[in-house]
């Protein structure tokens, strides 16, 4: 049986149905037996649905420049 930390790593692919049938079945069995991971996957699904429903806005050139100016200089690290 998969461990809880493995479910955390597979949850996104599980929801996207990007798993083999064996992995999908293993995750499904774990979720049937583990309430914590079942809640985790339900929260992940809720988050995905909320984000998908959000209105997307493009940043203006000025906003993008302000954000880039706040980033650390990669040449100094
Ligand atoms: Zn679990």
Over residues 34-53, the pLDDT tens digits come to 999 999 999 999 999 999 88
- Write the CB contacts of 30 (distance below 8 Å, at least 6 apart in sequence): 1, 2, 4, 7, 37
Domain containing 33 equals 4-52
Q: Is 51 exposed, middle or buried (0-12, 13-18, 19+ CB in 10 A)?
A: exposed
Q: How much distance in Å is there from the Cα of 15 to the middle of ligand 1?
A: 16
In a domain, 11, yes or no: yes
Q: How much distance in Å is there from the Cα of 37 to the middle of ligand 1?
A: 4
In a domain, 71, yes or no: no
In a domain, 75, yes or no: no
Per-residue pLDDT of the chain (77 residues; tens, 9 = 90+): 899 999 999 999 999 999 999 999 999 999 999 999 999 999 999 999 999 888 888 889 999 999 999 998 877 65
Domain count, the chain: 1
User: Which pLDDT value is given to residue 32?
Assistant: 97
Q: How much distance in Å is there from the Cα of 28 to the middle of ligand 1?
A: 11
Rounded CA-CA distance 70/65 in Å is: 9
């Amino acid at each position: 049986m998969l461990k809880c930390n493995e479910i955390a790593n597979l949850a996104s692919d599980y929801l996207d149905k990007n798993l083999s049938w064996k992995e999908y079945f293993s995750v499904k069995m774990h979720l049937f037996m583990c309430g914590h991971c079942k809640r985790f996957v339900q929260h992940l699904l809720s988050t995905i649905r909320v984000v998908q429903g959000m209105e997307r806005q493009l940043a203006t050139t000025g906003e993008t420049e302000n954000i880039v100016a706040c980033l650390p200089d990669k040449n100094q690290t």
